[in-house]
Amino acid sequence: MGRRDIRDESDFRSRPSKRGSRPRTKQRPEHSDAVTGLVTGVDRGRYTLLVGGSETGHGGTVVTAMKARELTRTRVVVGDRVDVVGDTSGEEGSLARIVRIQERTSTLRRTADDTDPYERIVVANADQLVIVTALAQPEPRTGMIDRCVVAAYDAGMSVLLCLTKADLASPDALRALYEPLGVEVVVTRRTTADDGGAGDLGAVALVPESVEEVRDRLRGLSSVLVGHSGVGKSTLINALVPEAGRATGVVNDVTGRGRHTSTSAVALRLPDGPATDDDPDYDGWVIDTPGVRSFGLAHVEVAHLLHAFEDLDEVAQECPRGCTHLADAPDCALDDWIEASPDDERPAREARLASFRRLLTSRTGTDA
Ligand SMILES: Nc1nc2c(ncn2[C@@H]2O[C@H](COP(=O)(O)OP(=O)(O)OP(=O)(O)O)[C@@H](O)[C@H]2O)c(=O)[nH]1
Ligand SMILES: [Zn+2]
């Protein structure tokens, strides 16, 4: 029995639960009575699950669970679909048991880095990575964005670049860097006195149309939001999911409360569509990752990353064996692709290749 086992076990017993004294062996085989749950939160060995909801989160019961002892060494993360047995009533004090993790459609990973010595799966089964970047305050850092793009493409996820604080600076330069990669870009900004908004008083209100534009791109999907401190991620999440109550702004002088009480990911359900809207694709999941400020990318392979760029991938089939595809690579077919370009396509190809090579380089750079 491993150490964690012991701890889980004592956690388990310390809870006033009828299940504590039941012989384990009874439900062991097969778990044919298991139901499916979606992991929406993880906190020190306790998993918050939504059981019996639809794919995009309609309905369902919120259940607290722990891992069965056979999963002690298996990591269960937000976004995982799990099989769960035991008390799935969701009643106060009830505790269910996760007995299986269903196959993952995607895994967003980070390699070990200075802040964390282990390679970790951050979120499972997400469709999209939303990179939240302020256009000013703090200044955008393209290295950070590049690394997020690489992590997402490597995980088989699509990318949405959400540029915040457009009231402070223009998004044009960043658009020009990322649209050639096929990255979708949305822009948000706060209301100002001109919009009849709060101006500089009170909490920031975002222009509703700009939030709607973001929401449109999240519908029916599971989206992971990442961003550096201060970019306005919490402000955006609160606008998208009003009941989320993510803490915003700097540490509050009055209450002394910090911004984040938890550093683990949490999945928040987008509000249901209008009552008249019975489109099941209306809603979706927003996964906040307060602890994730960067991605270590040592696990990413060039060949795998290339798959995210079909046209470049095809061209690169002609490259010499072991080609790095970087600007200094001898005889890289991607350079021939530019040379052979029709004049009217050339600027677009050049921009795409330059952006792709930037991504390749970011893979080995550090974010700090
Ligand atoms: N000018 C301007 N300020 C904004 C906008 N959105 C958010 N802010 C402000 O930016 C600051 C940081 O916003 P938060 O939402 O707390 O940022 P965060 O990314 O969640 O940062 P952490 O809480 O540290 O993770 C706050 O003072 C917000 O009021 C915007 O569109 N324009
Ligand atoms: Zn090459």
The dotted CATH code for 128-288 is 3.40.50.300
- 197 Cβ below 6 A of ligand 1: no
**Of 70-84, 167-181, 265-279, minimum mean pLDDT range:** 265-279
Counting ligands in written order, the one closest to the CA of 302 is 2
Q: For the whole model, what pTM was predicted?
A: 0.82
Counting ligands in written order, the one closest to the CA of 325 is 2
In percent, the amount of the chain with pLDDT more than 70 equals: 76
Mean pLDDT over 6-19 rounds to 37
Give the DSSP per-residue string, 224-284: EEE--TTSSHHHHHHHHSGGG----SSPPTTT---S-S--S-EEEEPPP--TT---TTS--
pLDDT at 202: 52
Most confident of 2-11, 29-38, 217-226, 258-267: 217-226
Out of 235, 237, 246, 263, mutate this one to test ligand 1's pocket (max ligand atoms within 8 Å of CB): namely 235
Is the pLDDT higher at 194 or at 202? 194
Q: 32 among the known binding-site residues?
A: no
CATH topology of domain 3-101: OB fold (Dihydrolipoamide Acetyltransferase, E2P) (2.40.50)
Q: 158 among the known binding-site residues?
A: no
- 284 Cβ below 6 A of ligand 1: no
Is residue 255's pLDDT more than 60?
no
Is the pLDDT higher at 343 or at 23? 343
pLDDT at 257: 40
Q: 60 among the known binding-site residues?
A: no
Out of 231, 251, 289, mutate this one to test ligand 1's pocket (max ligand atoms within 8 Å of CB): namely 231
pLDDT at 114: 61
Sign of CA dihedral 172, 177, 179, 183: negative
Helix count (H) and strand count (E) of the chain?
A: 9, 13
- 249 Cβ below 6 A of ligand 1: yes
Is residue 13's pLDDT more than 60?
no
Q: 148 among the known binding-site residues?
A: no
Rounded CA-CA distance 181/357 in Å is 11
- 168 Cβ below 6 A of ligand 1: yes
Residue 194 banded pLDDT, cuts 50, 70, 90: low
Residue 253 banded pLDDT, cuts 50, 70, 90: very low
Distance from the alpha carbon of residue 164 to the mean position of ligand 1, in angstroms:
9
Rounded CA-CA distance 236/214 in Å is 9
- 259 Cβ below 6 A of ligand 1: yes
Q: 220 among the known binding-site residues?
A: no
**Of 43-47, 257-261, 279-283, 310-314, minimum mean pLDDT range:** 257-261
- 235 Cβ below 6 A of ligand 1: yes
* Cα 77 to the center of its chain, rounded Å: 12
- What is the number of the ligand 1 atom nearest to the C-alpha of 132? 19
Q: Do 182 and 157 contact (CB within 8 A), yes or no?
A: no
**Of 24-38, 153-167, 318-332, minimum mean pLDDT range:** 24-38
Distance from the alpha carbon of residue 311 to the mean position of ligand 2, in angstroms:
13
Q: 64 among the known binding-site residues?
A: no
pLDDT at 52: 82
Is residue 316's pLDDT more than 50?
yes
Q: 53 among the known binding-site residues?
A: no
Mean pLDDT over 220-242 rounds to 91
**Of 40-49, 220-229, 274-283, 300-309, minimum mean pLDDT range:** 274-283
**ipTM entry:** 0.97
Read off the amino acid at residue 134: A
Distance from the alpha carbon of residue 135 to the mean position of ligand 1, in angstroms:
11
The residues spanned by each domain of the chain are: 3-101, 128-288, 302-364
In percent, the amount of the chain with pLDDT more than 90 equals: 53
> 3-class SS at 166?
coil
Is residue 198's pLDDT more than 80?
no
Separation in Å, CA 222 to CA 49, 210, 314? 15, 20, 29
Distance from the alpha carbon of residue 235 to the mean position of ligand 1, in angstroms:
6
Distance from the alpha carbon of residue 336 to the mean position of ligand 2, in angstroms:
10
Q: 164 among the known binding-site residues?
A: yes
Residue 115 banded pLDDT, cuts 50, 70, 90: low
pLDDT tens readout for residues 128-163: 999 999 999 999 999 889 888 988 998 889 999 999
Residue 290 banded pLDDT, cuts 50, 70, 90: confident
**Residue whose CA is at the smallest distance from ligand 1 atom 29:** 204
Mean pLDDT over 289-303 rounds to 77
Q: Do 312 and 306 contact (CB within 8 A), yes or no?
A: yes
- What is the number of the ligand 1 atom nearest to the C-alpha of 228? 19
Calculate the average pLDDT of the chain. Answer: 81
Distance from the alpha carbon of residue 359 to the mean position of ligand 1, in angstroms:
27
